[in-house]
Structure 1
Amino acid sequence: MVIAVRTVLGDVAPGELGVTDAHDHLFFHSPQLPGRELADAAAARAELDAFRAAGGRSVVQWTPYGLGRRAADLPLLSRAAGVHLVCATGLHQAVHYDQEELAALRGRLAEVFVSELTTGIGPSGVRAGLVKVAGGFHGLDAHARWTMRAAAEAHHATGAPVAVHLELGTAALDVLDLLCGESEMPPHRVILGHLNRFPDPVVQREAARSGCYLAFDGPSRTHHATDWRMPEAVRALAEAGFGHRLLLGGDTVVAGARSVDGGPGMPYLLRRLRPRLAAELGTELVDRILTDNPAAAFATDWR
């Protein structure tokens, strides 16, 4: 059995990832964000260069099926920038898709996920390294349940980790009930995103206690608690014995948020957030969160 992280250039040993942005986007477009698409390959390259210059070595892109992943561009960018890239399959919330497109996936969603994890994404041949799905606001609608069941089926077929967008950070326990309870996924193969957007320490501890990974991703936008409560939340989880279950990411989703376009972008994670957390938690723990934890979260015994 070989444990590996599936990057766009092939499987690599987990220890090769180095400092990792565990949740971000190089390309992304959605009808919910008109005119703000991440669609410029040159800007994506510049952003990766800036991230590497700040000390970054790997980026996990959570952009799923149908939202402009540009999978064929990712190997070229990875080689040129010298940064490992992990690509996602999966499906976002229904509002991001045309209803006819969703209807065409009925009855074969898990099959699509498995194909993109094992054979590759379309003619690019790039294999995805995780499945990304999404919950709803304080609950799971029929679309979320459909996509999550398909994601769990794909996990059981391939071993792939499943990363979950929590809407405004909510419904974490509902997600775990479905994936790890009903669908019998091992918790350590589940990554919950955006926990920082709903800073409830009780929910965070309960989720961590399950054995899943908790991703604190994205600098503050409208939710001002995102930044100033993050160090306290991360410290509390670490002190409770869950430091090995924490991940950090940038979650750049619109063009104006890129550092090369004047936003915080990927380098913010290392330029600003890393020293802030190190002052609270110590350099050793923050280094583990940026290196050891993503290496474990995104590595699996591929089937």
Structure 2
Amino acid sequence: MVTAVRTVLGDIAPGDLGVTDAHDHLFLAVPSLAGQELDDPAAAEAEVEVFAGLGGAAVAQWTPFGLGRAAGRLPAIARATGVHVVAATGLHQAHHYDPALLDRLSRDGLAAFFVAELTEGMLDGDTPDAPRGTARAGMIKVAGGFHGLDDHARRMLTAAAEAHHATGAPIGVHHEMGTAAPDVLDLLHGRLGVPPSALLLGHLNRFPDPGLHRELAASGAFLAFDGPSRAHHATDWRLLAGLVALAEAGHLHQLLLGGDTVTATARATTGEGPGMPYLLRTLRPRLTRALGEEAATAVFRTNPARAFSARWTTP
């Protein structure tokens, strides 16, 4: 077994990942954001090019299966921009999907589906009958609920744990408005044995409770903050303070930052911003002023290299 980051162009050494946007979307289409789909390859490439021009070297696309992921387009963007792209398998909350699709995937075996996308290649489309491409997912994306877990979330998290144990893949979790992270940890780590070092707990800045953040950090999991976000602007002003508080409490090396661009309007190059470039143009300098260059390097380079790497147990 070799420790590597699995990108859409192949496995790379963790140290080669570079400055990383740890949670974003190049392609995304969900019913709740109708009319704001991220479905333009040229716009996606333009956004990544600006990010690269600011020193960005990698982006993790957390868009899971069935939500306009456009897996087949990701390798071309990676080649054109020179930016590593880590893609996700997995499934989001139930309301994003046709129940018939979820039933079919469940019958066929969710964990097996995730494993195939991690080891053989992702489906290039939003149905189980789509052709399988050669680009492999490098992470699993699943979701909790608002202050709790429903039956669907438990099934998805359980399947993600099984796929992790079969492959070593990291698991990124969407927490609705930043909530239910303790429930997720209890299930994935406490009951299903996923090591905290393989867990990326997302959107925590949307529930800016410092005490809860410290409790989550004590588990050893990675804490993924994203912002600013047009969809969740209310807590943006507390983002930096939350990062500084966790760093000062000794958890600097668990922190991740991503842009989480989910609408066309939110892109910097073809929309109204702030988009991916904001991470390096604005947030990194602020983080550097608050904690120093070494800390900024940890958040943007060293931590993602560990968070997205795995000892892959299958080819």
TM-score normalised according to structure 2 size: 0.94
The match for 1:247 is 256
Aligned residues: percent identity?
63
Amino acid at match of 1:52: A
Partner Cα distance (2:221, 2:235) in 1: 21
The unaligned stretches of length 5 or more in structure 2 are: 124-131
Whole-angstrom CA distance in 2 between matches of 1:254 and 1:233: 25
Whole-angstrom distance in 2 between the partners of 1:292 and 1:155: 22
- State the SS of the aligned residue for 1:32: helix
Q: CA RMSD in A?
A: 1.0
TM-score, normalization by structure 1: 0.98
2:230–2:266 contact (8 Å) kept in structure 1:
no
Asked if the contact 2:229/2:261 (under 8 Å) is kept, the reply is no
Match of 1:87 in 2: 87
Q: How does 1:199-238 map to 2 (within 5 A)?
A: 199-221=208-230, 223-238=232-247
Confirm or deny: 8 A CA contact 2:170 2:307 kept in the other structure: yes
Q: Distance in 1 between matches of 2:57 and 2:210?
A: 31
* Contact kept? 1:32, 1:95, Cα under 8 Å: no
Distance in 2 (CA, whole Å) between partners of 1:124 and 1:224 is: 36
Aligned partner of 1:293 in structure 2 is: 303
Does residue 187 (structure 1) correspond to residue 201 (structure 2)? The answer is: no
Q: d(CA) in 2 for partners of 1:69 and 1:135?
A: 20
> Is the 2:225–2:257 Cα contact (8 Å) retained in structure 1?
yes
Match of 2:272 in 1: 262
1:203-246 CA deviation, whole Å, 9 max, x = no partner?
Answer: 10111100100001120436445322122211111111110000
**Contact 1:172/1:203, CA 8 A, preserved across alignment:** no
For residues 1-303 of structure 1, what are the structure 2 equivalents within 5 Å? 1-107=1-107, 108-122=109-123, 123-221=132-230, 223-260=232-269, 261-303=271-313
Partners of 2:157 and 2:252 lie apart in 1 by 26
1:122-181 deviation digits (Å, cap 9, x = unpaired): 321210000000010010111110100000000000000000000000011110000001
- Cα distance in structure 1, aligned partners of 2:78 and 2:40: 15
What code does the residue aligned with 2:153 have? A
Match of 2:129 in 1: none
How far apart, CA to CA, are the structure 1 residues paired with 2:106 and 2:120?
20
Q: Check the 8 A contact 1:220/1:226 in 2, yes or no.
A: no
2-structure distance, mates of 1:32, 1:264 = 21
- Structure 1 window deviating more from structure 2 (77-86 vs 121-130): it is 121-130
Mapped partners of 2:135, 2:233: distance in 1: 37
